[in-house]
Amino acid sequence: MGMQGGIKGEYDCIYEFSEVDYTADLKKIDGPTLIIHGDDDQIVPIAASAEKAAKVVRGAELKVYTGGCHGLAQVDPDTFNADILAFIKA
């Protein structure tokens, strides 16, 4: 996937993931929120992202995929989509 992107976009993406603080934006979310993350994500570690976001977004539900890597929607689309649909229907 990385080979399909442009260097500028990929460079900017690293900046966004590593240096931008989205806490203020996350605090503004006031609707039902589902955060899905794999606990073995080597690209965006769960402790630095989903776990923190789940604490900041009021009432957020954090669903952790044991052994899950980055790109869960592509790696396990059936489970991922079922979890999103269940959240929407609840």
pTM of this prediction? 0.84
Domain ranges of the chain: 2-89
- What are the beta bridge partners of residue 36? 63
Nearest residue to 36 via CA among 28, 87, 89: 87
- Determine the CATH number of domain 2-89: 3.40.50.1820
**pLDDT tens, 7-29?**
999 889 888 878 899 999 999 99
Which tokens belong to 68?
């899950």
**pLDDT tens, 47-86?**
999 999 999 999 999 999 999 999 999 999 999 999 999 9
Neighbour-count burial for 25-51, b at 16+ CB within 10 Å, e otherwise: ebeeeeeebbbbbbeebeeeebeebbe
